[in-house]
Amino acid sequence: MDRKFKDNHKTSISQLVGFVKDSYLDRTSRPIYALWYLLFFIVVYEVGTIAFNPEILSRSLTDARVVVSFVWGQNILKFLGFSERMTWIATPLTIVVILIALQMTSGTSWRVNIRDFGPMSLECVLLAIPLIVLSLTVNRSVNYDQQSEFAAYRGAEKTAAVYLVIDNTPTGQVNPAEAAEHKARSLGVDIVTGIGAGIYEEFVFRLILICLLMLVFQDMLGMSWQWAVFISVMIAAILFSVHHHIFFVNGHFQIGEPFSFSKFIFRILAGVYFAIVFAVRGFGITAGSHAFYNIIAAVLNTYVLS
């Protein structure tokens, strides 16, 4: 490893491994690849959320049901003066702007080969499988709970454990066609949720939080690079796990998924795992792996483990 590479990586956890120039691993680690690859997922989350809850654009943010980490972005933008509707556009644009800025400072090529997107998706699926296995081992079920990914705000209501779409399944006898339709609709909600959580949780807890913590521990407090990385990754992983159970939005702490020690530990391990993927493969593959994990888990929970 040459001196220039070492120097470039003393101030960031991202991209700890260098690859052969212009190889698949090198190309797909670039911020510009993350931008174009994740753009489809961002659109699916936005369109899917609005499709399931079309009234979400005409109601205030206090009545919205969306991914918690997405709401954090909306809250910040609303504080800065953006309207309710504009936050739906400005929040994903924040990711776009940051990735463009990172690409500009990286000094790497802006060229994108769309044929790489297929192998990238396969890589994301393969990286998601170890977490599926770990979740089944630790929890004896796939650790994906749609409710824990959403925040609901209705005045003074404190719970975050609600569904994007209210369960309208009639009581009593339900014919198979209605049951299948309801299950498919619920799965659709789960998939949309999982995609949004994968993108925005990785954006908050890996791309933003770890880099900020590195800045504090290494540059401000003078810690060694190794200790700064270790502490930053662990803090981000613990907070990632905590936020599924309790989180702060709209000026209030709210309760999410009921606490489970096994799920809490699993999510810490998942946070460390995603940090390693982020350090080696960059933001695009990390967010994609998280999204595909949620999608696979949702399908397994709906059709295999239910």
Structure tokens at 213: 């913590």
In this structure, is residue 172 part of a structural domain?
no
Give CA–CA dist 233/248, Å, rounded: 21
d(CA 35, CA 98): 9
Q: What pLDDT score was predicted for residue 45?
A: 94
Which residues does 167 contact at the CB level (< 8 Å), separation at least 6? none
- Check residue 17 and give its pLDDT: 66
Cα angle, residue 206 at apex, residues 194 and 277 outer, rounded to 5°: 80
Check whether 257 has a pLDDT greater than 60: yes
Does residue 12 lie in a domain region? yes
The pLDDT mean for the chain works out to: 81
pLDDT at site 58: 56
**What is this structure's pTM?**
0.84
Phi, psi of 25 (to 5 degrees): -65, -35
Q: Nearest to residue 285, comparing CAs of 110, 99, 105, 122?
A: 122
Confidence at 171, pLDDT banded by 50, 70, 90? very low
- What pLDDT is recorded for position 280? 93
Widest pairwise Cα distance in the chain:
70
Give the pLDDT score at 102: 94
SS (H, E, C) the chain: CCHHHHHHCCCCCCCCCCCCCCCHHHHCCCHHHHHHHHHHHHHHHHHHHHHHCHHHHCCCHHHCEEEHHHHHHHHHHHHCCCCHHHHHHHHHHHHHHHHHHHHHHHCCCCCCCHHHHHHHHHHHHHHHHHHHHHHHHHHCCCCCCHHHHEEECCCCCCECCCCCCCCCCCCCCCCHHHHHHHHHHHHHHHHHHHHHHHHHHHHHHHHHHHHHHHHHHHHHCCCCHHHHHHHHHHHHHHHHHHCCCEEEECCEEEECCCCCHHHHHHHHHHHHHHHHHHHHHHHHHHHHHHHHHHHHHHHHHHHCCC
Which of 32-46, 47-61, 261-275 is least confident?
Answer: 47-61
The whole-number pLDDT of residue 297 equals 92
Highest-confidence segment of 125-129, 132-136, 217-221: 125-129
Residue type at 18 in one-letter notation: G
pLDDT-based confidence at 62, cuts 50/70/90?
very low
**Mean pLDDT, residues 66-85 taken together:** 87
Residue 171 falls inside a structural domain: no
Model confidence at 114: pLDDT above 90: yes
Higher-confidence position of 77 and 179:
77
Host domain of residue 295:
3-165+178-303
The length of the chain is: 306
| Among 69-83, 118-132, 137-151, 276-290, the least confident range | 137-151
Number of domains into which the chain is organized: 1
Residue 170 lies in a domain: no
Nearest CA to 205 out of 99, 68, 89 is that of: 68
- Give residue 2's pLDDT band: very low, low, confident or very high (50, 70, 90): very low
Asked if residue 164 has pLDDT above 50, the reply is no
Classify residue 153: in a domain, yes or no.
yes
